[in-house]
A and B are shown apart, each in its own frame.
Chain A
Amino acid sequence: MPTKPTTGAPTKITQGSQTKGGIGESTLRPDGTLKVTGEFAYSSDMWHEDMLWGQILRSTVAHAEIVSIDTVEALKTPGVYAVMTYDDLPTEVKNYGLEIQDTPVLAHGKVRHHGEPVAIVAADHPETARRAAAKIKVEYRELPVITDEASATAPDAILIHEGRDDHHIGHVPHPNIVHRQPIIRGDVEEAAKKADFVVKGEYTFGMQDQAFLGPESGLAVPGEDGGVDLYIATQWLHSDLKQIAPVLGLPEDKVRMTLSGVGGAFGGREDLSMQIHACLLALRTGKPVKIVYNRFESFFGHVHRHPAKLYYEHGATKDGKLTHLKARIVLDGGAYASASPAVVGNASSLGAGPYVVDNVDIEAIALYTNNPPCGAMRGFGAVQACFAYEAQMDKLADKVGMDRVAFRQLNAMEQGTIMPTGQAVDSPAPVAELLRRVKAMPMPPEQQWLAAGEAADVRQLPGGLSNTTHGEGVVRGVGYAVGIKNVGFSEGFDDYSTARVRMEVVGGEPVATVHTAMAEVGQGGVTVHAQIARTELGVTQVTINPADTQVGSAGSTSASRQTYVTGGAVKNSCELVREKVLELGRRKFGSYHPAWATAELLLEGGKVVTDGGEVLADLVDVLEGEAVEIEAEWRHRPTEAFDLRTGQGFGHVQYTFAAHRAVVEVDTELGLVKVIELACAQDVGKALNPLSVIGQIQGGTTQGLGVAVMEEIIVDPKTAKVRNPSFTDYLIPTILDTPTIPVDVLELADDHAPYGLRGIGEAPTLSSTPAVLAAIRNATGLELNRTPVRPEHLTGTA
């Protein structure tokens, strides 16, 4: 038997390397089995003795003055405990909002979009509450609707919000523009003269919904101290708290919030939905109040992804080098600001994509209109831009006469590239390599529908079970795309997280307890926190406490930031706990062994060991009778705001990249599409939980596919009313629409980040959509400047 050559020196161990279930392992999520077996308790499953049911009355028109509201009949309904309108709000604070407090808790004098909350009802049965709400008579005097840039910025346009005093009003060209961010670098006019080829395109991105499966819901329980306990599905408890407490007229410590089971979020739970309404009704009636939206209401109950118009001009030399980029991105923010300003920041600063282009003139704006409010959704402004610049790259490559992937690789950014914002990319940016990897993956076999035998397997064909083709009219197409997304909150935001970690002996074993306010929305954060605690503290048993506001803020579960930032906070608090534990050990046992003073000490397998592996003490003995606890905030390196004229600034914490290759079969006669495969390569820095990483990438990829071929909230341009608020007509991919998604994971460490990790949740959502579109263009030869693509667009019957 061959033996390893000895080097003489023992191999040093590093913290956590000997403990099972730590980072880098695919430990299973605690909520997984419960969710797939239907046992998981979602926020809509909560129940309280004597509880009432809340119901919201929403506007039936998009833009109108409210002439009168008559609640008399509703109040007379047996079983009704309370009916509240704007006039019943308890304090002077009557609006809320993430950044700009422009959203009325209940409409006052005016409604600005279809489905805006006008009144709320509490009753002893949900049906009674619904019927009572239907009895409220609201008289509207309709106003003309503003639905696009032209109607919003017309000189005589009605102002969606009169008397704006927010911090963007000073630099926007029109009060119906929420925020404007230019990004200017180099000299576009001069550079354009050097371009041998110029490509101009106009692109349209439809309104996508987060379509999380667990609708908005929560339970508010009035407390004996005049406060309220709110059990809620959200993305950020402390942000909710800051918006809720002032409206209720309560100090923040009297609004105690606990996260309840969240059925998906994708950005749609960053804004408040029924939180304040449930609390108001609970405090008014003195009884617990539960509110659960149904699917119809959910489509009105949260913000959507900004639909966008994008105007792009790129130039390239005959060698294929990009010369310049001129872009204008118009995002429709709808009636209220929500996250629009930050979405503008992303769309503009990431608008050039992962490419080296020295001369840039980008402008992004978000409009106020009477369309449904839009805000955060996975990809957050970068998605819309990626759809446009990737279409441009294909067109430009064709003009130059280069292979589309090679053209991208030639212009790909890398570590050291200066972004259009002037920020240097200071960690790996393997854009060309990701493209190489997806291109190198084996192609799925041709005509897979014939693989099963003699008869065509319709499940492998466009139309699927609907049996529309057995191969007739079917053409294969292949498309590539790559994208760039920022991680974490940008533009100078103080984006910190808090973690409380405790170590003690329970039942004769050392146990770590991790307490954060991080919203587990399905991303797997609780799994990762346990892994980090095992790695850093060398224990097997980790308890994750429920997320609530009894601990400091963990920031938002969004922007691909939680593993980075709250994960970073857990790591940091664990390290501080470890130091304290070792101090304790030194105090108790230091005199027994010189290594306590001289060696590097680690916690492994429930013991204190030296880095050479020598055991010094059991943690049980070190911790006997004592608990070590630390609560600490942790921050990533600071960012700065973009200059309002030039967009220059160190705006983003970290960049993240993914590339896709899409293979589609298109029924060119019926305009139906079957995506056969969506191969993805992504750099994740470090995969803390490889299984979860694959899950995130496949989920993001599928969400990107959805907006490529089916997902769109359709708003009537004449009335600004939503036409398809249901899963009958707002379609999301089924398993038969979801292709094989082979994933190639790169782990190039970002030295600025904990463990070198990179946020991963959003990047795959960016490039998936343009890759599918490119593949459909490849199959059909059509230009297709809008997403989602509908059968009408492929058959000339729109």
Chain B
Amino acid sequence: MDFLRPASWEEALAAKAEHPTAVPIAGGTDVMVEINFDHRRPEYLLDLNRIGDLEEWEVGEDSVRLGASVPYTRIMENLRGELPGLALASHTVASPQIRNRGGVGGNLGTASPAGDAHPALLAAGAEVEVESVRGSRRIPIDAFYTGVKRNALAADELIRAVHIKKADGPQQYSKVGTRNAMVIAVCAFGLALHPETRTVRTGIGSAAPTPVRAKAAEEFLDAALEEGGFWDNGKIITPSVAKQFADLCSAACNPIDDVRGTASYRRHAVGIMARRTLTWTWESYRGTAARTEGVA
């Protein structure tokens, strides 16, 4: 195994072009586990830790440009206002030590359906900035996940940053695991209200071959909110609307039975999380109950 240590982003792109099989490594919280357990034997490891730029973020007018290696801890500490859904998701990632090392770039690179960041990115709306020696492009998050542990990156491309829409309304994130901390997702759910466009967006993790949005549920809720004038009158969402939204979120799942949970449980749990996060975000939008936010 060769260990490549580019000193700059340009060198990294050149190295990736020369060795398309090279596996990029930053925090190492995923790649090292795979190597230690002998699940993976890459010919080349491409160490991105000398590229400081990847650990920086910029808050723009409409979005946050989040460097691929910004650790989850930084997101929790510094971007809770701009990216509340992702900050909540970050807090569910593994342990404090892992959160100090791991970042969203790794989640995207691995593209595991169980990656904690995905539902939050899908719900907020995001674009992945990828680059190769051939140039730079932005991949919409909806087009990024292409299969189980597969993404839209070309062999010579590296993830540089992710551009995430700044929250224009309340966002929530929930994850089910069979332990109260340090647990891989059995399934996860992200929800973002977008009052500016009067839309809602969702993200479901670990309940389909890839992270997915529950588009039918979103469309249903968009229509129901519009019809009832909810965005303006701020009324409580009726239980039947919440239930139908939840059912449609469950229906958006295409889960499997595995050692972590049954397909039937995943469908069920996604529905419960959808209903609860809808209540929390909507109550927050109505400006009533601080209690629904949740803290740790």
Residues of A participating in the B interface, judged by any CB pair closer than 8 Å:
130, 294, 296, 450, 452-459, 462-470, 472-473, 669-672, 674, 709-710, 714, 723-724, 726, 728-729, 731, 733-737, 790-792, 795, 797-798
Contacts and interface: CB of A to CB of B under 8 A. Distances in A.
Contacts of A714: 259
Say what secondary structure dominates the interface of chain B. Answer: mixed
Contact of B180 (A456, A473, A737, A798): A737
A467 B175 CA distance: 7
A795 B268 CA distance: 8
Nearest to A706: B179
A444 B228 CA distance: 44
Contacts of A294: 36-37
Interface stretch (B43-51, B232-240, B287-295): B287-295
Contacts of A462: 180
B181 A791 contact: no
Contacts of B193: none
Contact of A464 (B181, B186, B267, B273): B181
B264 A130 contact: no
A731 B38 contact: no
Contacts of B279: 472
B54 interface: no
A734 B181 contact: yes
Nearest to B265: A797
B77 to A, nearest CB: 15
B173 A454 contact: no
Given A452-B295, A671-B265, A734-B182, 15 more contacts: A294-B36, A455-B293, A456-B295, A464-B296, A465-B92, A465-B181, A465-B296, A470-B276, A669-B272, A670-B273, A672-B178, A723-B259, A731-B178, A791-B261, A798-B265
16 contacts: A456-B291, A456-B295, A458-B295, A463-B180, A468-B174, A470-B276, A669-B272, A672-B180, A710-B178, A714-B259, A729-B184, A734-B182, A737-B179, A791-B178, A792-B262, A797-B265
B243 interface: no
Contacts of A737: 179-181
B32 interface: no
A482 to B, nearest CB: 27
A729 B259 contact: yes
Report the interface size class on chain B.
35 or more
B260 interface: yes
Nearest to B271: A669
A733 B178 CA distance: 10
A710 B177 CA distance: 10
Nearest to A454: B290
A470 B292 contact: yes
A459 B296 contact: yes
Contacts of B173: 467
Interface in B30-76: 36-38
Nearest to A296: B37
A450 B290 CA distance: 12
A676 to B, nearest CB: 11
Interface in B156-205: 172-184, 186
B248 interface: no
Contacts of B261: 790-792
A752 B279 CA distance: 63
The 7 closest A-B pairs by CB, nearest first: A464-B180, A797-B265, A736-B181, A466-B175, A797-B264, A736-B180, A455-B295
Nearest to A737: B180
A209 to B, nearest CB: 14
B181 to A, nearest CB: 4
A41 to B, nearest CB: 22
B276 A468 contact: yes
B280 interface: yes
Given A455-B291, A466-B92, A669-B272, A728 B184 contact: yes
Say what secondary structure dominates the interface of chain A. Answer: loop
Contacts of B186: 791
Nearest to B41: A131
B92 to A, nearest CB: 5
B141 interface: no
Given A466-B177, A734-B181, A792 B37 contact: no
A794 to B, nearest CB: 10
Of B37, B180, B264, B276, most A-chain CB atoms within 10 Å: B180
A780 to B, nearest CB: 15
Of A296, A670, A674, most B-chain CB atoms within 10 Å: A670
A462 B179 CA distance: 9
A427 to B, nearest CB: 40
A637 B181 CA distance: 47
Nearest to B95: A734
Given A455-B293, A669-B272, A797-B264, A465 B37 contact: no
B88 interface: yes
A472 B175 contact: no
Nearest to A733: B179
Nearest to B280: A470
B269 interface: yes
A797 B261 CA distance: 9
A774 B184 CA distance: 27
Contact of B179 (A459, A469, A710, A795): A710
Contacts of A792: 261-262, 264-265
A456 B283 CA distance: 14
A741 B178 CA distance: 21
Nearest to A464: B180
Contacts of A734: 179-182
Contacts of A726: 37
B296 to A, nearest CB: 5
Contacts of B273: 468, 670
Contacts of B91: 465, 467
A669 B273 CA distance: 10
A797 B91 CA distance: 28
B180 A454 contact: no
Nearest to A469: B276
Given A296-B37, A792-B262, A457 B181 contact: no
Interface string B189-227: 000000000000000000000000000000000000000
B185 to A, nearest CB: 8
Contacts of A669: 272
A462 B37 CA distance: 31
Contacts of B269: 670, 791, 795
A624 to B, nearest CB: 56
Contacts of A456: 291-295
B174 A674 contact: no
Nearest to B269: A670
B92 A467 contact: yes
Contact of B294 (A455, A724, A731, A735): A455
Nearest to B178: A710
Contact of A731 (B92, B183, B267, B290): B183
Nearest to A452: B295
